[in-house]
Amino acid sequence: MLIYDATAQRMQGKARPFECEWEPQRWHMYAILPVQIESIKARLDRVEDKWRLEVEFLDAQRETIQAALPYEAWLWQNGGGELLHFGSTRREDGRISTVLRKFEPQPHQKCSVVSVLAGWGLTLDFPHRL
């Protein structure tokens, strides 16, 4: 079992005792997973006049981790980023397909999908059909 510190967006390590600060003003959210998040599989598709984002997290065998895992989707252009969407995969199958409402990307914009637990992610280009 592995412990992820979602507040610090990093893997804490194997499930064992560890030091942490318990201050009333600060809180930390932790997650325990049976396997390590090794990669993210994400895809952007245009569906009629809306964009759909599909996300899943993979283990070392490149199998989908069946858990509710939080992620952020960021929109990037000219070096700046803004939070586009915050979501979670489904616990039942470890996947999510969500429509990004009221959103029309500009040419050359990119979308980053970042694991809230691990703190890293991948960057997607919007398909050429804008």
The answer as to whether 93 is a domain residue is: yes
Residue range 17-70, pLDDT digits in tens: 766 666 777 777 888 899 999 999 999 998 888 899 999 999 999 999 999 999
Domain with 75, as residue range(s), is: 37-125
The answer as to whether 130 is a domain residue is: no
The answer as to whether 58 is a domain residue is: yes
Q: How far apart are CA 123 and CA 113, in angstroms?
A: 6
The answer as to whether 115 is a domain residue is: yes
The answer as to whether 66 is a domain residue is: yes
Torsion of CA 55, 101, 7, 117, to 10 degrees: 0
CATH number at residue 80: 2.60.40.1930
Q: State the total domains in the chain.
A: 1
Residue range 74-113, pLDDT digits in tens: 988 766 778 889 999 999 999 999 998 777 787 778 899 9
The answer as to whether 78 is a domain residue is: yes
The answer as to whether 107 is a domain residue is: yes
The answer as to whether 6 is a domain residue is: no
pTM for this structure?
0.83
Q: Is 90 exposed, middle or buried (0-12, 13-18, 19+ CB in 10 A)?
A: middle
Q: How many CB atoms lie within 10 A of CB 70?
A: 15
Torsion of CA 34, 31, 62, 92, to 10 degrees: 90
